Amino acid sequence: MDITGIMGFVLAIFLMIFGIVFNVDAGIVFANMVNFIDYPSIAITVGGTLAVLMISFPTSIFLKIPKHLKIIFMPQSFDQHAYIKMITEFAKEARIRGLLSLEGKLADVKDEFLKKSLLLVVDSIDADKVNSILETELDHIDERHHSDIEFYQKGAAFAPAFGMIGTLIGLVNMLKQMSDPDAIGPAMAVALLTTLYGSLLANIFFLPIANKLKIRHDEEMLCKMIVAQGVKSIQAGENPRFIEEKLLLMIESKKRSPRGSVEKTDKKAKALNTKKADA
Amino acid sequence: MDITGIMGFVLAIFLMIFGIVFNVDAGIVFANMVNFIDYPSIAITVGGTLAVLMISFPTSIFLKIPKHLKIIFMPQSFDQHAYIKMITEFAKEARIRGLLSLEGKLADVKDEFLKKSLLLVVDSIDADKVNSILETELDHIDERHHSDIEFYQKGAAFAPAFGMIGTLIGLVNMLKQMSDPDAIGPAMAVALLTTLYGSLLANIFFLPIANKLKIRHDEEMLCKMIVAQGVKSIQAGENPRFIEEKLLLMIESKKRSPRGSVEKTDKKAKALNTKKADA
Amino acid sequence: MDITGIMGFVLAIFLMIFGIVFNVDAGIVFANMVNFIDYPSIAITVGGTLAVLMISFPTSIFLKIPKHLKIIFMPQSFDQHAYIKMITEFAKEARIRGLLSLEGKLADVKDEFLKKSLLLVVDSIDADKVNSILETELDHIDERHHSDIEFYQKGAAFAPAFGMIGTLIGLVNMLKQMSDPDAIGPAMAVALLTTLYGSLLANIFFLPIANKLKIRHDEEMLCKMIVAQGVKSIQAGENPRFIEEKLLLMIESKKRSPRGSVEKTDKKAKALNTKKADA
Amino acid sequence: MDITGIMGFVLAIFLMIFGIVFNVDAGIVFANMVNFIDYPSIAITVGGTLAVLMISFPTSIFLKIPKHLKIIFMPQSFDQHAYIKMITEFAKEARIRGLLSLEGKLADVKDEFLKKSLLLVVDSIDADKVNSILETELDHIDERHHSDIEFYQKGAAFAPAFGMIGTLIGLVNMLKQMSDPDAIGPAMAVALLTTLYGSLLANIFFLPIANKLKIRHDEEMLCKMIVAQGVKSIQAGENPRFIEEKLLLMIESKKRSPRGSVEKTDKKAKALNTKKADA
Amino acid sequence: MDITGIMGFVLAIFLMIFGIVFNVDAGIVFANMVNFIDYPSIAITVGGTLAVLMISFPTSIFLKIPKHLKIIFMPQSFDQHAYIKMITEFAKEARIRGLLSLEGKLADVKDEFLKKSLLLVVDSIDADKVNSILETELDHIDERHHSDIEFYQKGAAFAPAFGMIGTLIGLVNMLKQMSDPDAIGPAMAVALLTTLYGSLLANIFFLPIANKLKIRHDEEMLCKMIVAQGVKSIQAGENPRFIEEKLLLMIESKKRSPRGSVEKTDKKAKALNTKKADA
């Protein structure tokens, strides 16, 4: 569960409602909420955005929205250290009992990409071919994720546009029928609502989702790259300790504070040292 | 027929009309429609956008608009599995009866690109040359599609600009002749109409078309890449089963859910396994 | 003559004037034109844009404007088929009578790039060197054209900015001297004129020119690439029929409808077939 | 301490307060400050921006904000000359007493990257491997810094959006309850405050931080590249004087005025001259 | 002296003043100037922009502003033909009397880059090393210039932002104290002044400088690339006439009209012809 993300979402909603109902003189006025709910305005903004997204993207992308929300708020953990540990153990197993011995262990592997990659190795597919298959796979995941992210980015562009269209429709209607001066204010308020809806839709829904999907994508890709690198090293029959070192370097520099403590380096230096003796 | 796309378009139009005619107090007021139709405003916005697109692009692109609409709403299906099946059968035929035997079968092939590519192979053109011809072809298709897409993107930029120009013209005329205060409201309403037209043109017509053409282009390119890859494999005399596997991998990673079921992988692993025995 | 382009320009001007003079109640009111002409506003917007373009770009670019307009409205025709025909004939001549025999024929060649490129071949310059000279030349043309296009793009950015600056100046003057309420409307109308001028300048002049120059550039580059490819093939002593085929492939995929008729492919296939026998 | 940076920040705050309290007629009116403080507006703008950043980014990035501020206002000095001096001395030591002799000296090295890089050399890791490890490290630092910078850039985009959302909420509430005409002005003032907060947040906080982090990143990367280059040269056993020259060239062209004095060049030329004799 | 640039700047200032003081009815009213000068507004806009630039960039960049203005308005002439002539003479000298003979002539060379590059050759530095040093140098100049240009681009982004911030501050103060209706107009005029200042700062100062620095940079880089190419050719001992030809080709395509006269080509062809005999 991405607690911060959910808190962020709840906080955003809460703050918008607070901004609506709070009045410096009168305190909390829940009646204000009524001013901000207008079904035709919702229809124009949310419906219009949805409609042009339906023209712009294939149907399949809409079915993925629940999955995207799940990825964002209840992400599969990509524990890089766990992956490295798993790969190191496979490497040890392969060193001691041969690559074929890995086949039996694959049943327990939950990560599809790791499983498939190892199967290629177990099946003695040529190293070059394994390399090209893994790279094609990573490229395609990258492409697919980016086109998913683009869906939300386009949504974030369409929503304020339909907000403005709604406001223009409201203004034209209001200006054409300006008989009662007292009605101008409330009519204009309603006209502005679509602009508000459009901005909220873009800034609380579409853009944060696009950003977070990008972050999740980067996390997943790092793990996938660790797996790809690890599997290639296992196939090459490299020393398990060396494989572990190499994979740790890939994430260390991601995690480590740029001006961190010296001790950690000392430890790594020693590890590299012993590795030397091993080689 | 792209049902979702057509529904999206109908929904967008319907919602705009609903936003125009619906009134919280009076219900549906069809008379409001009259407020939103102003021929000089349409002339300025639609005509102006059309005029500068005529300056900006060659005539030929305008003749392609109906074709683009057809691509969007009644797309040629690019069924990747059908392509892979077809290519696999050609590969089997070529293995059993030789490359020349494909010539007779080409009459039934409807896809021009597949046909032409196979003809190159049948004609025993050098593998390097085939490769370079196919790549040049794909590059040019890519370029041509992108310049088509750019036409709609430029349209989406010009339309709101002419909307604003129209509004400014209306405002200047109104402000210069402000004799009757009661006339200000309706005059301003008319002035705002061009901005509304410009926004609608950009967000319901130009942008969704540009986006969908991009999606269609990606689908077509994936099929073309499958064909190119398949034809090259047939020429190289690869095992038909292996060709099928390889092409399936190209689309699988596009379709498969990123964290899909393990069974599928097992099956593929077995297939890869048997392939091994075959090689 | 680019009839569509000129029609587009005339149409844009006509529509703007129509928008200005047409009045739903009174019909055509040419007196409205007076509302839209204000010399100080023109000075600020057009002059200001010109002034900052003078700071931003070297003098030489201003002298190129007439040439750019000529390229846009009276373009040199880049008939790709004519080029291919010419090159094919040179190739035949070179095959029959040797490369040196081309020298005499060069006097009739009007295209400077083709002439120069062929001269390199006639002079027996090394193939690698010819290749590098032609590529450098194409790169530099590309760069120069893009910096020309940038001039108009910057103009399209500066014009609305000076439009807004003019409106702000007008508003400040108006607000400071608000003695006569009846004068506010017309004063505001004049203030808005600069914004209108800036938008028109950007959207009817600068942007369409920038777009069309880009299109012309692409056309010219395709021809230049055909010439470069053809000259290299002539130097390599390739079969004239094969050269023609190869160059046609470069433009075919540009022109051909993506899902065109099958006959054309058949014909090409045959041509490729005969070529084979020739090789 | 980045004095200019802190002065800039203080100056920006001071100028905003000056703009708020200064009145041409009445001089300094501190009472004006009250007009600009509205807690619900702060909640909507600052809170809303924070909330969507919480959805958009992982928690870890928020914990880095103090570190980023420290990097900006109290930067670790990356004195390139000191680094070059240090590396030159290590090079001399390595030449005279061998690479292993560096191990003892590493305890005094404070820069983690330099230390780790030298350790790789001391541990006789293969030159190719050292090269690939250093490059991976630099790539990852680059990536991590850029994703940090993106956090502030997204903040700079969200803040004005929530400013506008707050203003729309305020306007709708105001327009709906327009009973007392005298209350309109102050109510509108409050509504505008969120837009002001959003702009200030973006332009005084988020954007300058993003820009300065980018500058700091460039400085750090230059030092890291000097270290990487130096360590590789030490491993290759290059002449210490030549290493110094080479590293100085990397920063000289960064620091030197583009049309500087000729003397400096003469000196360098001489140095290069003597180097020759040395080689 | 860049006469056009200075004229552009003077013209821009003049037009702004003209727009301010000219009144259709009253002619030139210099008293209007007073409406446009407001010191607190200047403080907020210019000061605020300066302050955030101080946070965003290192101090050193501010010290370069006079130098940048000199580069823009009194540019060092980069006469490409003079450079080519100089290099050709060095090439002749080197051919006749050897590379070392160049040393004596270097005292007269004013261009630092040419001098330093030739010194590398005179010092018999290895050709590969010379090549890598020159390329590193060009890369660094490119990078440094681009970060200078970015300073002005960021200024052009901050200035209008602080203009808007100033206007919002003015509006809030005005709306809060709306007692005297007659004071609203002038107060609003003052509030708008900051937006005007911000636009002028961006469009008359920052953006044109950024654009012109980019142009100057391109001119300088072309000369530097000619020098680098020439020096490498001298080191390779190429024929001086051939070097001249080669360098001329680099600028010809920059200067020559794209569809220029045929004579020039004939001449070049002859030159290439004779060169052939020479080789």
Q: How confident is the model at residue E159 (pLDDT cuts 50, 70, 90)?
A: very high
Give the nearest partner residue to B52 out of C19, C208, C259, using CB atoms. Answer: C208
First CA to last CA across chain A, in angstroms? 42
Question: Mean pLDDT over residues C34-62, rounded?
Answer: 93
Q: How confident is the model at residue E77 (pLDDT cuts 50, 70, 90)?
A: confident
Closest residue in E to C154 (Cα) is E211
pLDDT value at position E263?
36
Give the nearest partner residue to C47 out of E5, E11, E268, using CB atoms. Answer: E11
Contact across the interface for E199 and C57, Cβ inside 8 Å:
no
- Among C43-57, C230-244, D149-163, E188-202, the range scoring the smallest mean pLDDT is C230-244
pLDDT value at position E180?
74
Contact across the interface for E265 and C119, Cβ inside 8 Å:
yes
pLDDT value at position C252?
62
What percent of chain B has pLDDT above 70?
A: 89
CA atoms of D197 and D170, how far apart (whole Å)? 14
pLDDT value at position A152?
96
* Distance (Å) from the alpha carbon of D216 to chain E's nearest alpha carbon: 9
Q: Report whether pLDDT(C183) > 80.
A: no
Please choose, from the candidates B96, E246, D196, the residue with its C-alpha nearest in 3D space to the C-alpha of residue C133. E246
Q: Considering chain B, what is the average pLDDT of its residues?
A: 83
Tell me which chain C residues have a C-beta less than 8 angstroms from the C-beta of E202.
Answer: 161
Contact across the interface for E52 and D215, Cβ inside 8 Å:
no
Q: What is the pLDDT of residues C144-156, one digit of tens each?
A: 899 899 999 999 9
**pTM of the full predicted structure?**
0.85
> In terms of pLDDT, which residue wins out, E16 or E250?
E16
Tell me which chain A residues have a C-beta less than 8 angstroms from the C-beta of B189.
Answer: 171-173, 175-176
What percent of chain A has pLDDT above 90?
A: 35
Contact across the interface for A168 and B16, Cβ inside 8 Å:
no
Do the Cβ atoms of E46 and D11 come closer than 8 Å? no
Report the residue of A23, A262, A278 to disrupt the D interface, i.e. the one with the largest count of D CBs within 10 Å.
A262
Tell me which chain C residues have a C-beta less than 8 angstroms from the C-beta of E16.
Answer: 44, 48, 165, 169
Helix (H) / strand (E) containing B42 = helix B39-42
3-state secondary structure chain D: CCHHHHHHHHHHHHHHHHHHHEECCCEECHHHHHHHCCHHHHHHHHHHHHHHHHHHCCCHHHHCHHHHHHHHHCCCCCCHHHHHHHHHHHHHHHHHHCHHHHHHHHHHCCCHHHHHHHHHHHCCCCHHHHHHHHHHHHHHHHHHHHHHHHHHHHHHHHHHHHHHHHHHHHHHHHHHCCCCHHHHHHHHHHHHHHHHHHHHHHHHHHHHHHHHHHHHHHHHHHHHHHHHHHHHHHHCCCCHHHHHHHHHHHHHHHHCCCCCCHHHHHHHHHHHHHHHHHC
CA atoms of D20 and C34, how far apart (whole Å)? 43
| Angle of CA points A142, A148, A154, to nearest 5° | 130
* Amino acid letter for position D107: A
* Distance (Å) from the alpha carbon of A148 to chain D's nearest alpha carbon: 16
Q: How confident is the model at residue D6 (pLDDT cuts 50, 70, 90)?
A: very high
CA atoms of D187 and D170, how far apart (whole Å)? 8
Whether chain D lies against chain A with 3 or more Cβ pairs closer than 8 A is yes
Q: What is the pLDDT of residues D74-93, one digit of tens each?
A: 887 778 888 899 999 999 98
Alpha helices (H) in chain A, listed in sequence order: 3-21, 39-42, 48-56, 59-63, 65-73, 80-97, 102-105, 112-122, 127-176, 184-200, 207-235, 240-255, 262-278
Please choose, from the candidates C205, C198, C206, the residue with its C-alpha nearest in 3D space to the C-alpha of residue C155. C206
pLDDT value at position D271?
39
Q: What is the pLDDT of residues C106-143, one digit of tens each?
A: 888 888 888 888 888 888 778 887 887 888 788 888 88
Chains that touch E (3 or more CB pairs under 8 A): C, D
Tell me which chain A residues have a C-beta less than 8 angstroms from the C-beta of B188.
Answer: 175
- Among B42-56, B184-198, C38-52, C178-192, the range scoring the smallest mean pLDDT is C178-192
Structure tokens at B124: 């025993």
pLDDT value at position E252?
62
* Distance (Å) from the alpha carbon of A25 to chain B's nearest alpha carbon: 30
CA atoms of B109 and B86, how far apart (whole Å)? 9
Exposure string of C139-165, with b = 16+ CB inside 10 Å and e = fewer, is ebbeebbebbbbbbbbbbbbbbbbbbb
CA atoms of E122 and E108, how far apart (whole Å)? 15
Q: Report whether pLDDT(E220) > 60.
A: yes
Tell me which chain C residues have a C-beta less than 8 angstroms from the C-beta of B53.
Answer: 8
Task: Quickly count helices (H) and strands (E) in chain C.
Answer: 13, 2
What percent of chain D has pLDDT above 90?
A: 34
Chain CA centroid to CA A250, Å: 21
| φ, ψ dihedrals at E22, nearest 5° | -80, 135
* Distance (Å) from the alpha carbon of A230 to chain B's nearest alpha carbon: 19
Contact across the interface for A204 and D47, Cβ inside 8 Å:
no
Question: Mean pLDDT over residues B146-166, rounded?
Answer: 95
Closest residue in D to A193 (Cα) is D172
Q: Report whether pLDDT(D2) > 90.
A: no
Please choose, from the candidates B153, C236, B3, D175, the residue with its C-alpha nearest in 3D space to the C-alpha of residue A157. B153
Give the nearest partner residue to A55 out of B186, B212, B254, using CB atoms. Answer: B212
Tell me which chain D residues have a C-beta less than 8 angstroms from the C-beta of A200.
Answer: 165
Closest residue in A to B13 (Cα) is A48
Tell me which chain D residues have a C-beta less than 8 angstroms from the C-beta of A15.
Answer: 43-44, 47-48, 51
Top-confidence range, A43-47, B92-96, C242-246: A43-47
Tell me which chain E residues have a C-beta less than 8 angstroms from the C-beta of C169.
Answer: 16, 19-20, 36, 196
Q: Report whether pLDDT(C166) > 90.
A: yes
pLDDT value at position A136?
79
Q: Considering chain A, what is the average pLDDT of its residues?
A: 83
DSSP letters spanning C5-66: HHHHHHHHHHHHHHHHHEETTTEE-GGGGGGG--HHHHIIIIIHHHHHHHHHS-THHHHTHH
Closest residue in A to D75 (Cα) is A259
Structure tokens at B46: 């639609």
Give the nearest partner residue to E172 out of D72, D193, D262, using CB atoms. Answer: D193
- Among A114-118, B23-27, B170-174, the range scoring the smallest mean pLDDT is B23-27
Report the residue of A50, A55, A123 to disrupt the B interface, i.e. the one with the largest count of B CBs within 10 Å.
A55
Q: What is the pLDDT of residues A139-158, one digit of tens each?
A: 888 888 898 999 999 999 99
Question: Mean pLDDT over residues A35-55, rounded?
Answer: 93
* Distance (Å) from the alpha carbon of B8 to chain A's nearest alpha carbon: 4
pLDDT value at position C129?
79
Question: Mean pLDDT over residues B129-144, rounded?
Answer: 83
CA atoms of D187 and D167, how far apart (whole Å)? 10
Q: How confident is the model at residue A123 (pLDDT cuts 50, 70, 90)?
A: confident
* Distance (Å) from the alpha carbon of B106 to chain A's nearest alpha carbon: 30
Cα-Cα-Cα-Cα dihedral sign, residues C142, C148, C152, C157: positive
* Distance (Å) from the alpha carbon of A125 to chain D's nearest alpha carbon: 26
Question: Mean pLDDT over residues D209-225, rounded?
Answer: 90
Tell me which chain E residues have a C-beta less than 8 angstroms from the C-beta of D273.
Answer: 123
Top-confidence range, C23-37, C262-276, D63-77: D63-77
Do the Cβ atoms of D219 and D111 come closer than 8 Å? no
Q: Report whether pLDDT(B111) > 50.
A: yes
Contact across the interface for E259 and C76, Cβ inside 8 Å:
yes
> In terms of pLDDT, which residue wins out, D278 or D110?
D110
Burial class (CB in 10 A: 0-12, 13-18, 19+), B18: middle
Q: Considering chain E, what is the average pLDDT of its residues?
A: 83
Q: What is the pLDDT of residues A264-279, one digit of tens each?
A: 333 433 443 333 334 3
* Distance (Å) from the alpha carbon of A82 to chain D's nearest alpha carbon: 19
Closest residue in E to D204 (Cα) is E52
Closest residue in A to D124 (Cα) is A276
Question: Mean pLDDT over residues E71-82, rounded?
Answer: 84
